[in-house]
Amino acid sequence: MSVGETRITVIGNLTADPRLFFSRQGVAVVNFTVAASRRTYDKAADRWVDSDTLFLRCSAFRQLAENIAESLTKGARVVVTGRLRQHGYEDKEGIWRTAFEVDVEDVGPSLRWATAQVTKAPGDGDQMESVARSATDPWAFAAASSSPVLSGSAPVAPVGGVPGIPSDLTT
């Protein structure tokens, strides 16, 4: 975690099935959008009322990306945690816009109105061993990993690159 980064937790529903693809280096990337609405009970109307909906685009990488694509589908209620990132882009009319995205650190199904059967993904033991080593040696994970390490300061792809994917994963 970097100093000053904005961490966020959002609870909502997937608007579509997660979209999995692979970067040119073979790194798994998944994109999905979470729609989150606050519901309040209107006593005068005797009904539940939805507030405005917040739509947040989310991206995850590597094994997490593959697990998300395999586990979650459109409509699933999820709890997503990650880093909120802002980026700018020029739209079709040449107007500069700002967008927010979540770089996902963890995601799971919401169990408020559902149940889930958790299955451990194969190969997680090696990754967990690397993470445990990195707790005492900050360079251990980077040295043990054969793929590029995503950091909070990775640059975002330039115009013409792949939006929302750090440029070190698209070259």
Query: Is position 21 within any domain?
Result: yes
**Residues spanned by the domain of 70:** 6-118+153-169
Each residue of 74-83: pLDDT tens digit? Answer: 999 999 999 9
123 inside domain: no
Q: pLDDT digit string (tens) for 52-69?
A: 999 999 999 999 999 999
The reported pTM is 0.67
- Sole residue written with tokens 């009904």: 47
SS3 of 67, please?
helix
CATH of the domain at 86: 2.40.50.140
Is residue 132's pLDDT more than 80?
no
pLDDT value, residue 7: 94
125 occurs within a structural domain: no
Residue 24 lies in a domain: yes
pLDDT attached to residue 168: 55
The pLDDT of residue 156 is above 50 = no
Q: What mean pLDDT comes out for the span 142-146?
A: 42
How many distinct structural domains can be found in the chain?
Answer: 1
Domain assignment of residue 157, yes or no: yes
